[in-house]
Amino acid sequence: MKYKRDDRREFIRFDFDANIKFRFFDKIDENVRGKAKNLSAEGVCIVTEKEIPRDKDVELDIYLPGKKKPVRVHGSVVWTHKIKSTGKKTASRFETGIKLYTIDKDDENSLLKYYCERMTDNLIKYIHL
């Protein structure tokens, strides 16, 4: 089976279900919560109930599954769009792509370990030994 990429991403993205808390650098006292949707080596897609403006710098706390202490990363919002609602009473939700650009060394090791484990899990689907 051959892996088909139908987008222009440089890195493969994996489904990623994790809680996210983030702050804007210009509003440190304002915390926004959301859920991660997918993860790549250089970015994360998150879902929130608040629209996040493009080109904003953010600090994210990513709560990796099974870990109590979050991984803290800094990034920049590169795109955002509203998710079409499926019901009349559903709150608005937004998907946002964040490019990651700085991370503490310990947090980087935790995030890379998690990413590599997901990569291995997904590659098994395409490798038949």
* Structural domains for the chain: 14-123 (2.40.10.220)
* pLDDT at residue 97, as a whole number: 94
Distance CA 129, CA 116 (A): 20
> What backbone phi and psi angles, to 5 degrees, belong to 51?
-75, 135
Q: Which residues are within 8 A (CB) of 16 and not within 5 positions of it... i.e. 6 or more apart?
A: 36, 37, 38, 39, 44, 118
> What backbone phi and psi angles, to 5 degrees, belong to 21?
-130, 135
- pLDDT, tens only, 34-59: 999 998 888 899 999 888 889 989 99
> Is the predicted pLDDT of residue 95 greater than 50, yes or no?
yes
> Is the predicted pLDDT of residue 128 greater than 70, yes or no?
no
What is the pTM for the complete model shown? 0.77
Amino acid at the residue 72: R
**Helix boundaries (H) for the chain:** 105-123
Distance of CA 23 to the CA centre of its chain: 14
pLDDT above 90 as % of the chain? 31
